[in-house]
C-alpha cells in the first residue's frame, strides 16, 4: 500500500516516506539523508590532493574545500538527499562476473566498463533527480535545491556513506550489503530539514581481493586510490600519452575498468535495473578490437551518441584501442599477426601525434620477423 502524500501538512518523517516512494517509482533503489557538516572529511581530501593522486583532473583541486562544504557550493543547503540507481541491465546473467573476467583473458576482445555500455548515466540520473525534485515541490511548494550526479564538486561517496547508502570499500567505491557496488549515486541539495538516515558501518573485514586484482596497482593501500595509475582514469580522464610501463597492464581494457568490482564478494548481490536506458548498445559487451578500430570518426560519433563514451572523442578512443591492439599483437597466434599489424598501420599517419605515438608503440610489441611472438619491446 502506498503512502498518502496528499496531506497539506506532511510531517518530516511522512515527507521522507513520500520521497522514497516517489524515488522508487523513478528507478532509484534507495534514498538517504545526509547532514552538510563534512568537516571530518576535509583532511583526507586535502592529503589526497597534496599527493597528486588526482592526476590531471585539475577540477578536483580547483574547487578546494567547497567539495566538502555543501552550504558553500549551494548557499542555503541544510540537507542532502542521496539516491542510488543500479545499472546492471535487466538481462544480466547470474554468472556475469565470471563472464567478464573471462573476456579479460581474450586479447582480441574489446572490454568496456559495464556502466558505459548503455545510455549516459549523467542524463538518466540527473533527469530523474529533477523529476523527483519537481514532485517534492508539489508537496512542499517551491524550495531551494540543486541536483547532481558526478557533475560538480560534490563528495558523493562521503555523503552516500553518511546517509546509509553503503560504506566506502577498500577500492574507494561505495559498497552496499544488498546491492554490491554496481550503482550510480546522485544528490539533491535542499534548503529544508529532513530526518537524517543512519550511516552503515564497513563490512570489508580482512578481504583484500580488490587490491590484489588491480592490474596497475592503483589501489596503493586500503581506501587509497592513485588515479594516475587507474585504468579508468587513463582511458577516460587522461588526455595525453599513457605511461609506457602501464600499457602492458591495461590488457584489452579500452574504456574504464571493472576488475576491482568483478572480484568483490559483495557484488554477488548486485541488482539489475529494469530501465532500458542501461541496456547494452551496439554490441559493446562483446565487441572485438579490430571491429572498433575500423570506426571512422563519423561512425564513432554516430554509435556513441547519448553514450558516456562519446566525450573522450575519437582520437582518445583510437589511443586506447592502439594500446589494446599492441597487447593483443604481443600474444597473437602467428596466423592473426598480419591482420593486427595491417590494421595498426592504417593509422601510422594519423593527424593526432598521440595516436601516432601509441600506434608506433603497439607495432613494436612484436618484431615483424618474429611470427611466433615473445619479443615485445618498449
* Four-CA torsion 247, 251, 252, 257, nearest 10 degrees: -90
pLDDT per residue as tens, the chain (378 positions)? 467 887 667 899 999 999 999 999 999 999 999 999 998 888 887 777 777 766 676 666 666 777 788 999 999 999 999 999 999 999 999 999 999 999 999 999 999 999 999 999 999 999 999 999 999 999 999 999 999 998 788 899 999 999 999 999 999 999 999 999 999 999 999 999 999 999 999 999 999 999 999 999 999 999 999 999 999 999 999 999 999 999 999 999 999 999 999 999 999 999 999 999 999 999 999 999 999 999 999 999 999 999 999 999 999 999 999 999 999 999 999 999 999 999 999 999 999 999 999 999 999 999 866 655 554 454
In this prediction, residue 26 carries a pLDDT of: 97
Q: What is the 3-state secondary structure (H, E, C) of 73-115?
A: HCCCCCEEEEEEEECEECCCCCCHHHHHHHHCCCCCECEECHH
In this prediction, residue 45 carries a pLDDT of: 76
What's the Cα-to-Cα distance from 326 to each of 136, 264, 314, 350, 364, rounded to whole Å? 52, 29, 18, 17, 8
Question: Is-catalytic flag, 245?
Answer: no
Query: pTM of the entire structure?
Result: 0.93
In this prediction, residue 213 carries a pLDDT of: 98
For residues 285 and 288, what is the distance between their CA atoms, to the nearest angstrom?
9
Helix (H, G, I), strand (E, B) or coil at 220: strand
In this prediction, residue 375 carries a pLDDT of: 47
Cβ-defined contacts of 312-319 (< 8 Å, 24+): 312/235, 312/236, 312/255, 315/350, 315/352, 315/354, 315/355, 316/235, 316/239, 316/354, 317/254, 317/255, 317/292, 318/293, 318/347, 318/350, 318/352, 318/355, 318/358, 319/242, 319/352, 319/354, 319/355, 319/358
In this prediction, residue 1 carries a pLDDT of: 45
At residue 325's C-alpha, the angle toward residues 323 and 329, to 5°, is: 120
Count Cβ atoms below 10 Å from residue 242 Cβ, excluding itself.
20
In this prediction, residue 8 carries a pLDDT of: 65
In this prediction, residue 5 carries a pLDDT of: 86
Catalytic residue among 150, 191, 279, 352: 150
Count Cβ atoms below 10 Å from residue 29 Cβ, excluding itself.
17
Specify which residues 79 forms β-bridges with. 190
Amino acid at each position: 500500500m502506498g503512502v498518502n502524500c496528499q496531506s497539506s501538512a506532511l510531517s518530516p518523517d511522512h515527507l521522507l516516506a513520500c520521497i522514497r516512494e516517489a524515488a522508487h517509482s523513478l528507478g532509484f533503489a534507495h534514498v538517504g539523508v545526509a547532514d552538510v557538516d563534512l568537516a571530518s572529511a576535509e583532511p583526507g581530501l586535502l592529503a589526497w590532493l597534496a599527493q597528486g593522486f588526482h592526476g590531471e583532473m585539475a577540477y578536483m583541486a580547483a574547487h578546494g574545500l567547497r567539495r566538502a562544504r555543501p552550504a558553500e557550493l549551494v548557499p542555503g543547503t541544510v540537507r542532502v538527499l542521496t539516491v542510488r540507481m543500479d545499472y546492471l541491465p535487466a538481462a544480466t546473467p547470474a554468472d556475469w562476473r565470471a563472464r567478464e573476467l573471462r573476456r579479460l583473458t581474450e586479447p582480441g576482445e574489446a572490454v568496456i566498463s559495464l556502466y558505459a555500455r548503455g545510455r549516459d548515466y549523467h542524463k538518466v540520473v540527473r533527469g530523474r533527480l529533477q523529476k523527483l525534485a519537481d514532485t517534492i515541490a508539489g508537496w512542499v511548494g517551491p524550495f531551494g535545491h540543486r541536483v547532481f550526479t558526478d557533475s560538480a564538486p560534490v563528495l558523493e561517496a562521503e555523503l552516500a556513506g553518511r546517509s546509509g547508502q553503503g560504506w566506502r570499500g577498500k577500492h574507494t567505491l561505495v559498497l552496499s550489503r544488498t546491492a554490491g557496488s554496481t550503482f550510480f549515486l546522485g544528490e539533491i541539495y535542499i534548503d529544508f530539514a529532513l530526518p537524517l538516515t543512519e550511516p552503515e558501518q564497513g563490512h570489508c573485514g580482512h578481504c583484500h581481493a580488490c587490491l590484489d586484482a588491480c592490474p596497475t596497482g592503483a589501489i596503493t593501500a586500503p581506501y587509497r586510490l592513485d588515479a594516475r595509475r587507474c585504468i579508468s582514469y587513463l582511458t577516460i580522464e587522461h588526455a595525453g600519452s599513457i605511461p609506457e610501463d602501464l600499457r602492458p597492464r591495461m590488457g584489452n581494457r579500452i574504456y574504464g575498468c571493472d576488475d576491482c568490482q568483478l572480484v568483490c564478494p559483495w557484488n554477488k548481490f548486485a541488482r539489475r535495473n529494469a530501465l532500458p536506458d542501461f541496456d547494452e548498445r551496439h554490441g559493446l559487451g562483446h565487441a572485438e578490437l579490430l571491429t572498433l578500430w575500423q570506426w571512422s570518426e563519423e561512425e564513432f560519433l554516430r554509435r556513441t551518441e547519448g553514450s558516456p563514451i562519446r566525450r573522450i572523442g575519437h582520437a582518445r578512443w583510437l589511443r586506447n584501442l592502439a594500446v589494446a591492439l599492441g597487447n593483443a599483437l604481443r600474444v597473437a597466434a602467428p596466423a592473426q599477426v598480419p591482420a593486427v599489424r595491417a590494421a595498426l598501420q592504417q593509422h601510422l599517419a594519423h593527424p593526432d601525434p598521440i595516436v601516432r605515438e601509441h600506434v608506433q608503440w603497439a607495432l613494436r610489441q612484436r618484431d615483424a620477423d618474429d611470427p611466433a611472438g615473445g619479443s615485445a619491446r618498449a
